[in-house]
Structures are given as structure tokens and as C-alpha cells.
Amino acid sequence: MTMKPLVGLGVSLLLSVLCPALASNPQESDAKEVYAGLPVEVHLLIADLKLDELVQGADSGREAAKARTLRESKALLKEALRKYEYFRTGDKKILSEGWGFSWAPPRPDFPSVGKSPLSLLEHLWIGYDMAAQLRSSIMIAPVQYSPDQAELHKSLDDSVGLMEKTIQAVESTGVWIVHWLSGARLMISAPPEFKPTTLMKSDLVRLLKPKPDGSAQGVVFVSQAYLDREEMDGTPEQYREKIIEKLRQRFPDMSGVELGESRAATGSFTTSFSYQYTWEGDVVKALVHIRRIGNTAYEVNYVSVAESFDRKEADRIIQSFLKR
């Protein structure tokens, strides 16, 4: 597979869709925000529960190699949790053999660990990032730490490394891959056949799905745009119409426009639409979800040759977008 045709069509697809999709379920989006904000140890606990489900599925499907890798992932995750709990509590009993993590909700209304809409890898990445950020803050602090404190910090460092190994092991089993950008504080998930490629213009993430001949079957990208005062004061529908009009000017044959749900809240909004057009003789279909956070609009785009357009896949990828 050569990269030249992939990048070439990737550019053409980008030029053909600068912002388009259908809105994700508002209740699910709200729940994702709640679960994304949980403490590191709870992220690791939920990840362990979700790993159990994957192991059971691999066993049921008689996928011995996958089940073995997932069990190895569980062992890594358990050790990561043990190291993190020692750092967090300073309780040396945690270092003893046979230690088992026990956890109880700190309050009655605490989110159920069994009902998270986030995936296994999403929990692992968020937990990893939170722990890594904490480690960085400790490393740069102009403080002289005691030997006991240094021991705890070493435990945190070990935990972060084990989380990273757990993520790598899980990714190797063919699950949907989470693309996490710590600098932009966002993530999006996609099937493993979507591979990272060269970013274009305002892209934050760009993923290409190749055909067997190396050409692009589809592209997923997340871009950002900074709103001017008029756009800040306008409605989600007005912003969407402005984007659609720009696309009509670029693609005179643009057709099949379908408007999705729009909703607004203080300082934010979401809006979406889909459309299609012709590119180099092929009918191309696009699904786009736009989310405003403050003065920035994040555009999640799923673009595919129409004959291979997978709506369920498109919805799931778009709904996986999370900005923290």
C-alpha cells in the first residue's frame, strides 16, 4: 500500500468537506461528560470490568490468542491500579501479596461503575492522561521531597507506565482504537483499519481507511474553527446554514442535504447535517457533527464513497468524540 494515493484522495475529501453529521444522543453525551470526570482509580476499576466482558466474549468465540492477550492486559491493569492506590493512599498493606482492590461509592448518587457509556480504551486513556498530568505537575514542582514521598512518586510513575502497556496490549486485539490528543484534550474512536495520516489545514485528527488497492475508501477528521462575534451571537441553525452555503459554493452539485438535531446551551451548541456530492466520478457521502465550546467550533467529519458508506459506523465514530 502506497501513501501517495491515500494522501491524494485524503486531500480531495478534505477539500470537499470542511465541516459536516447527525447529532449524537444528548443524554448519552451528558453521561459521557460525567463519566469522563471520574477519579483515576474509578476509571481503572471500570476498565477492569469492561476487560472482563471482552475476555468472556473472546472465550465464547474461541479466540484463544485474543483471550490470552486480554488476560495479560488484566494483569497489567491490576498492577497499575495497585501502584496507583499505593501512591494515592500511602497504605503499605497495598504492597502485600494477595491485595485486592475494594471500592465503594463515596455517596449514594455516584455514577454506577457498570453503566458507563465510555469504552474500555476511553477509560484507560482518560485515567492514563490524568495520572500522567499529575506526575508532570509533581516533577516540575520546586519542592524537596522526603524519601517516603519519593517512594510514592515512584509508584505513580510505575502506574503510568503500566497503564500505557495495558493500552498497547488492548489495542493489539483488534478493538476500536482511541485517538487521544492530550494537548487538545480530546479523543475520538474508530475501527483499527482507520490509520492516522497527514493533518490538513485546521485538522486536529485525521484518519484514513484504505481500500485493498491503497486508495482511500473513507476519511474521518476532526477540525476546529474559531468563531467571530456574529457567529458567537447566532443560533446553531444559523451557523449550520453558513457552513452549508460555503459547501454549496464549493460543490455546485451538492445534494441530499439532511439536517440533524440542533440544541443550544450557555456558551455551547451542537448541530449536524449530512450531504453528498460527486468527486472524480464517484458519489461521495458525508456526515458531520459540529460542537461549539466557548469560542471554538469542533467539526467531526465522516466521509466515504457512497457505495461503501456505513451509517452505523459513522454514527458510532461521531458519537465517540469527547472534548475535555
What percent of the chain has pLDDT above 90? 74
Is the Cα dihedral 250, 227, 125, 111 positive or negative?
negative
User: Looking at this protein, which amino acid is placed at residue 180?
Assistant: W
The Cα-based distances of 180 to 186, 188, 275, 287 in angstroms read: 6, 7, 28, 21
Please tell me the predicted confidence (pLDDT) of residue 131. Answer: 97
Radius of gyration from C-alpha coordinates of the chain? 22
Question: For residue range 250-297, what is the model confidence (pLDDT) as tens digits?
Answer: 889 999 999 998 999 888 999 999 999 998 788 999 999 999 999 999
Q: Which of 322, 34, 74 is nearest to 205 (CA)?
A: 322
Give the integer Cα–Cα distance in Å for 167 and 305.
Answer: 32
Question: Is 265 exposed, middle or buried, given 0-12, 13-18 or 19+ CB atoms closer than 10 A?
Answer: exposed
Residue 18 has pLDDT above 80, yes or no: no
User: Looking at this protein, which amino acid is placed at residue 173?
Assistant: T
Give the integer Cα–Cα distance in Å for 299 and 204.
Answer: 10
Please tell me the predicted confidence (pLDDT) of residue 21. Answer: 37
Please tell me the predicted confidence (pLDDT) of residue 141. Answer: 83
Supply the mean pLDDT for the chain: 88
pLDDT range class, residue 20, cuts 50, 70, 90: very low
Please tell me the predicted confidence (pLDDT) of residue 301. Answer: 93
DSSP run (H or E) holding 139: helix 120-140
Residue 5 has pLDDT above 70, yes or no: no
Question: For residue range 104-122, what is the model confidence (pLDDT) as tens digits?
Answer: 898 999 999 999 999 999 9
Is the overall model pTM greater than 0.75, yes or no? yes
pLDDT range class, residue 27, cuts 50, 70, 90: low
Angle at 291 between CA 286 and CA 295, to 5 degrees: 130
The Cα-based distances of 164 to 127, 129, 167, 313 in angstroms read: 10, 10, 5, 27
Please tell me the predicted confidence (pLDDT) of residue 19. Answer: 34
Please tell me the predicted confidence (pLDDT) of residue 10. Answer: 36
Residue linked to cell 522526603: 146
Give the integer Cα–Cα distance in Å for 204 and 167.
Answer: 21
Question: For residue range 121-149, what is the model confidence (pLDDT) as tens digits?
Answer: 999 999 999 999 999 999 898 888 999 99
Please tell me the predicted confidence (pLDDT) of residue 157. Answer: 97
Please tell me the predicted confidence (pLDDT) of residue 98. Answer: 81
Q: Looking at 89-98, 108-117, 159-168, 290-299, which range is the least confident one?
A: 89-98
Give the integer Cα–Cα distance in Å for 47 and 149.
Answer: 28
